[in-house]
């Protein structure tokens, strides 16, 4: 374009770096002899920097069901579109007033869940009130990562609209899968097992406490804290494995551990999943092992914040808290394998299980891995591993055509900075646990790194203050070991 | 190109786009849809579905602009149907409220910066949109022109006028007020 230095919009474009090289040089030369215009340009640049520095970070995510629908492939998308169109036609026939109320309550409940999750006592108290009311006849939705919307935003009434052939409505009556993780309480660091130089972590004032239970001889050591349920623990077990010897591992889901607390049946609540699961049994040999029902799952990969040559992998599985599989006391293995061509070695870092509060709520089981890539990292998305279900099936009817029991672990080469804030914050917790564990080969991991991660997540969101309390905890630990903050 | 290869490439493109733009698109759509996050997610899901059906090699060259354009059009479709306004009357349709930063995080950020974002409400819809696309979604003038359908010159003009007005509003806010006793 022909840039006229005296053209104000062109000066603004110059200040914002929007001119091509030639025009940029021309304006630059002109400004040398026009200080008043340079001052104007400086003010525009200052405002631009202000806007950029204070821009809210978008963190809202699609629901797991929506993501799965997108990633399942064109054929499935067409099928879902057809199903959604049919559903929309049926929905148009009746008003959907209840969704206005439930939608608003669901959002409020989501905010309450995020607020309470890291403080154990408050977690159960808050969720017991908010989410059980919000659930009503709607499926469980764990709180999304903080969206860039007002906290008091309420869902609009679902007015009728013509359904575009390409629009897809998520399944409304089926459980909504987890979109993001509710932060789990971090349990007291009492006792520390097999760690030699564990700092004395002050616990009197910090509601967030770090727990570390190290697996011994393959079994989990029980947490001895009488207050904290084992389902809320981060369990650290950093055992390195070389993919040349073994490409896989498994983390175990013990549904009985994540059953919701017993509540009297509430009027209007949908029947627990267990009723639907009653007919879902698989016969294994002579024993009938109930099929594990699963709402959704997700695999996320990002650079390891304390060692850029490594990658962190988070596998999340959401299951109905109340189901037949939870009644039998059995274990269900989620197989995780890594491809030797892409992964040289890996180790399990931590596992976590979070029980639901509402009777028809969902539990979330998470496993963290550290991966050493084979060769140079690629900026092209590639599947580095796979998660396999056995004796399990998905609950959502929208996924009834989903017949794969495998999910690829795709590494897109994402930096940890681009990860959602809940991923970043959990990696801080995992890192802190490794510090307490005295885990070997945690190169580059120290309190400062943990603090940076937690504070970064804190800047994005901290509705209830739990992240701030974790930051304080880490700082206290830092001082306790004599590290200058 | 064999069909299987096309599908594979489309799948990779969708995965890549999801990883890069999912949250940004939801925020963008939510802004247009008056903060309705649930509906914004539906719009964004629809956007990615359409990406699946687009030709990867054509879309990849300007993936971001393509996504934001489709997302915008879908969101406006929703608004039109709900508001029952005349088609094409985007200035009225786009008189959406600026979403406000999370109050908790605003306390940790520059208050002036936070206030600047709040003041976008006082700008015209087009001015606010180009400013958001530039500073919130990191779009170039060229991208903004492609997304909004405006000419690049028009984008530059809106940006200039919008930022100028924003500066004036901020200056007014920072001036001490004299209240009569």
Comparing A460 with A130, which gets the higher pLDDT?
Answer: A460
Which tokens hold the place of B45? 């899901």
The verdict on A2 touching B (C-beta cutoff 8 Å) is no
At residue B91, the pLDDT reads 53
**DSSP alpha helix (H) spans, A160-302:** 273-277
Chain B residue with CA closest to A15: the answer is B160
Contacts of A34 by beta carbon, 8 Å cutoff, 6+ apart:
A5
pLDDT band at A280 (very low <50, low <70, confident <90, very high): very low
Do A54 and B12 count as a contact with CB atoms less than 8 A apart? no
Identify the weakest region by mean pLDDT among A120-129, A466-475, B104-113: A120-129
Reported as a pLDDT band with limits 50, 70 and 90, residue A331 is: confident
Chosen from A12, A23, A52, A60 to mutate, greatest number of chain B CBs within 10 A: A60
The predicted-structure confidence for A395-419, as pLDDT tens digits, reads as follows 653 333 333 577 778 887 888 888 8
Going by the DSSP 8-state scheme, the letter that residue A232 receives in this structure is G
Please name the residue of chain B whose CA is at the shortest distance from the CA of residue A74: B52
**Amino acid B177: pLDDT:** 57
| pLDDT one-digit tens code per residue, A339-355 | 888 888 898 888 888 88
**What integer pLDDT is reported at residue A244 of this predicted model?**
60
Q: How far apart are the C-alpha atoms of A387 and A249, rounded to whole Å? A: 10
pLDDT at A277: 38
Rounded average pLDDT over A253-279: 58
Q: How far apart are CA A39 and CA B178, in angstroms?
A: 29
Do the chains contact at A55 and B135, CB–CB below 8 Å? yes
Beta strand spans in A206-272 (E): 234-242, 248-253
Q: Answer yes or no: is pLDDT of A394 > 80.
A: no
Confidence tier at A184 by pLDDT (50, 70, 90): very low
| Token representation of residue A481 | 């070991």
A156 to B39: CB separation less than 8 angstroms, yes or no: yes
Residues 391-450 of A with CB under 8 A from B: 410, 412, 414, 418, 420
pLDDT of residue A5: 62
CA distance A230 to A184: 11
Query: Complex ipTM, two decimals?
Result: 0.79
Using alpha carbons, list the distances in angstroms from residue A385 to A17, A78, A240, A246, A307.
Answer: 42, 28, 16, 13, 20
Out of A69-73, A194-198, A445-449, the most confident range is: A445-449
Residue A320, pLDDT score? 81
Percent of chain A past pLDDT 70, that is, above it, reads 52
Average pLDDT, chain A: 67
Residue from the list A153, A167, A462 with its beta carbon closest to the beta carbon of B37: A153
Q: Is pLDDT larger for residue A432 or for residue A132? A: A432
Whole-angstrom distance, CA of residue A211 vs CA of residue A437: 10
Omega into A191 within 30° of 0, i.e. cis? yes
Q: How far is A313 from chain B (nearest CA, A)?
A: 15
CB of B175 within 8 Å of a chain A CB? The answer is no
Of B41, B136, B160, the CB nearest to A66: B41
Residue A413 region by backbone torsions, left for phi larger than 0, else alpha for psi between -120 and 50, else beta: left
Report the distance separating Cα B45 and Cα A69, nearest Å: 9
Mean pLDDT for A420-428 is: 87
Between A135-139, A298-302, B154-158, the lowest mean confidence (pLDDT) is in A135-139
Instruction: Measure CB to CB from residue B117 to each of A54, A164, A414 and give the nearest one.
Output: A54
- String of DSSP letters for A93-105: TS--HHHHHHHHH
- Pick A303 or A156 by higher pLDDT: A303
Interaxial angle between packed helices A64-71 and B37-53, expressed in degrees from 0 to 180 and rounded to the nearest 10: 10
CB-based contact A47 B131, cutoff 8 Å: no
Task: Report the pLDDT value the prediction gives residue A294, as an integer from 0 to 100.
Answer: 81
The alpha carbon of residue A328 and the mean position of all alpha carbons in its chain are separated, in whole angstroms, by 28
pLDDT of A297? 78
Q: Which two tokens stand for residue B43?
A: 């719009």
How high is the pLDDT of residue B181? Answer: 46
Which of A11, A58, A410 is opposite residue B23, by nearest beta carbon?
A58
Chain A segment 36-55 residues within 8 A of B by beta carbon are 43-44, 47-48, 50-55
Nearest CA in chain B to A151: B102
Residue B41: its chain A contacts at CB < 8 A? Answer: 60, 62-63, 66, 170
> Which stretches of A374-465 are DSSP H helices?
421-437, 447-460
Going by C-alpha positions, the residue among A332, A320, A319 that lies closest to residue A274 is A320
Is residue A164's pLDDT more than 60? no
The phi and psi torsions of A451 (rounded to 5 degrees) equal: -65, -45
Q: Residue A222 class from Cβ within 10 Å (0-12 exposed, 13-18 middle, 19+ buried)? A: exposed
A34 token code pair: 């026009």
Is residue A132 predicted with pLDDT exceeding 60? no
Instruction: Please state, in angstroms and rounded to a whole number, the distance separating the CA atoms of residues A229 and A223.
Output: 8
What is the pLDDT at residue B72? 94
Contacts across the A-B interface (CB distance below 8 Å): 201
CA torsion angle A88 A91 A96 A98 (round to 10): -100
The residue of B52, B142, B162 whose CB has the most chain A CBs within 10 angstroms, and thus the best one to mutate to test that interface, is B52
Contacting residues for B151 by C-beta, under 8 A, at least 6 apart: B145
pLDDT value at residue A137: 35
Interface of A with B in 153-192 (CB under 8 A): 153, 155-156, 159, 161-162, 164, 166-170
Nearest-angstrom CA–CA distance, A292 and A272: 14
The confidence score (pLDDT) of residue A81 equals: 61
- The more confidently predicted of residues B10 and A118 is B10
Strand ranges (E), A188-306: 234-242, 248-253, 281-284, 287-290, 292-294, 296-304
Chain A residues close to B103, C-beta within 8 Å: 151
Q: What is the pLDDT of residue A116?
A: 41
Does residue A53 sit in helix, strand or coil?
helix
**pLDDT reported for residue A172:** 41
A327 or A471: which leads in pLDDT: A471
Residue A312: predicted pLDDT:
93
Q: State how far residue B180 is from chain A, nearest Cα, in angstroms.
A: 32
* DSSP output for chain B: --HHHHHHHHHHHHHHHHHHHHHHHHHHHHHHTTT-HHHHHHHHHHHHHHHHHS-HHHHGGGHHHHHHHHHHHHHHHHHHHHHTPPTT-HHHHT-PPPPPPPHHHHTTS-HHHHHHHHGGGGS-HHHHHHHHHHHTS---HHHHHHHH---HHHHHHHHHHHHHHHHHHHHHHHSPP----
The predicted pLDDT at position A230 comes to 40
**Residue B25: per-residue pLDDT:** 95
Interface probe, candidates A37, A44, A54, chain B, greatest B C-beta count within 10 A: A54
Residue-level pLDDT at B144: 96
The CA-atom distances, in angstroms, between B173 and each of A238, A240, B119, B167 are 54, 58, 10, 10
Per residue of chain B (181 residues), what is the pLDDT tens digit?
345 566 678 888 888 899 899 999 999 999 888 888 889 999 999 999 888 888 888 888 899 999 999 999 999 988 877 654 444 445 545 554 444 444 444 444 457 888 899 899 899 989 999 999 999 999 999 999 999 999 999 999 999 999 999 999 988 877 665 444 4
Q: Which residue has the higher pLDDT, A222 or A365?
A: A365
pLDDT value at position A237?
57
């Amino acid at each position: 374009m022909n840039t006229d230095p005296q053209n104000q919009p062109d000066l603004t474009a110059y200040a914002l770096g929007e001119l091509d090289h030639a025009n940029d040089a021309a304006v630059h030369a002109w400004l040398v002899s026009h200080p008043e215009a340079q001052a104007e340009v400086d003010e525009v640049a200052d405002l631009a920097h202000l806007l950029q520095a204070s821009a809210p970070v978008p963190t809202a995510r699609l629901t797991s069901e929506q993501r799965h629908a997108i990633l399942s492939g064109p054929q499935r998308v067409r099928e879902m579109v057809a199903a959604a169109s049919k559903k929309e036609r049926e929905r148009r026939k009746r008003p959907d007033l209840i969704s206005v109320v439930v939608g608003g309550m669901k959002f409020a409940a989501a905010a309450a869940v995020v607020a309470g999750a890291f403080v154990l006592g408050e977690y159960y108290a808050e969720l017991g009130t908010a989410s059980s009311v919000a659930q009503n006849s709607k499926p469980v939705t764990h709180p999304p990562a903080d969206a860039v919307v007002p906290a008091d935003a309420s869902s609009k009434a679902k007015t009728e609209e013509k359904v575009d052939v390409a629009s897809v409505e998520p399944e409304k009556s089926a459980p909504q899968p987890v979109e993001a993780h509710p932060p789990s309480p971090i349990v007291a660091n009492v006792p520390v097992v097999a760690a030699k130089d564990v700092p004395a972590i002050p616990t009197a004032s910090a509601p967030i406490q770090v727990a570390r239970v190290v697996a011994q001889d393959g079994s989990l050591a029980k947490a001895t804290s009488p207050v904290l349920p084992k389902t809320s623990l981060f369990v650290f077990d950093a055992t390195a494995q070389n993919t040349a010897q073994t490409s896989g591992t498994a983390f175990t889901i013990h549904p009985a551990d994540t059953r919701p607390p017993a509540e009297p049946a509430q009027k209007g609540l949908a029947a627990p999943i267990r009723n639907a699961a009653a007919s879902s049994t698989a016969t294994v040999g002579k024993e009938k092992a109930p099929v594990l029902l699963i709402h959704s799952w997700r695999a996320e990969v990002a650079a390891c914040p304390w060692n850029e040559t490594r990658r962190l992998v988070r596998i999340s599985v959401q299951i109905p808290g109340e189901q037949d599989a939870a009644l039998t006391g059995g274990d269900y293995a989620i197989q995780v394998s890594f491809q030797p061509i892409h992964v040289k070695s890996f180790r399990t870092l931590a596992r976590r299980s979070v029980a639901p509060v509402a009777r028809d709520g969902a539990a979330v089981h998470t496993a963290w891995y550290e991966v050493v890539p084979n060769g140079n990292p690629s900026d092209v998305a590639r599947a580095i591993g796979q998660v396999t279900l056995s004796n399990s099936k998905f609950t959502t009817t929208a996924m009834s055509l989903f017949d794969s029991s495998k999910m690829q672990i795709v590494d897109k080469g994402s930096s940890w900075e681009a990860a959602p804030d809940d991923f970043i914050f959990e990696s801080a917790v995992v890192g802190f646990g490794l510090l307490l564990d005295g885990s070997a080969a945690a190169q580059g991991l120290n309190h400062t790194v943990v603090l940076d991660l937690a504070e970064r997540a804190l800047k994005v969101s901290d509705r209830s203050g739990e992240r701030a309390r974790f930051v304080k905890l880490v700082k206290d630990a830092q001082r306790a070991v004599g590290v200058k903050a | 190109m064999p069909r299987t290869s096309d599908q594979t490439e489309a799948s990779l493109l969708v995965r890549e786009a999801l990883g890069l733009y999912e949250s940004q698109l939801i925020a963008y759509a939510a802004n247009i849809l008056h903060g309705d996050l649930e509906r914004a997610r539906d719009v964004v899901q629809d956007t990615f579905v359409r990406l699946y059906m687009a030709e990867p090699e054509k879309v990849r060259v300007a993936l971001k602009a393509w996504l934001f354009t489709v997302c915008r059009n879908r969101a406006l479709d929703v608004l039109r149907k709900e508001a029952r306004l005349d088609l094409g009357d985007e200035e009225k349709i786009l008189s959406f409220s600026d979403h406000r930063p999370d109050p908790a995080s605003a306390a940790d950020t520059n208050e002036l910066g936070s206030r600047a974002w709040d003041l976008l409400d006082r700008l015209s819809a087009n001015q606010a949109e180009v400013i958001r696309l530039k500073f919130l979604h990191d779009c170039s003038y060229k991208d903004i022109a492609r997304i909004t359908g405006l000419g690049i010159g028009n984008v530059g003009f809106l940006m200039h006028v919008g930022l100028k007005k924003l500066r004036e509003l901020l200056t007014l806010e920072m001036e001490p007020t004299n209240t009569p006793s």
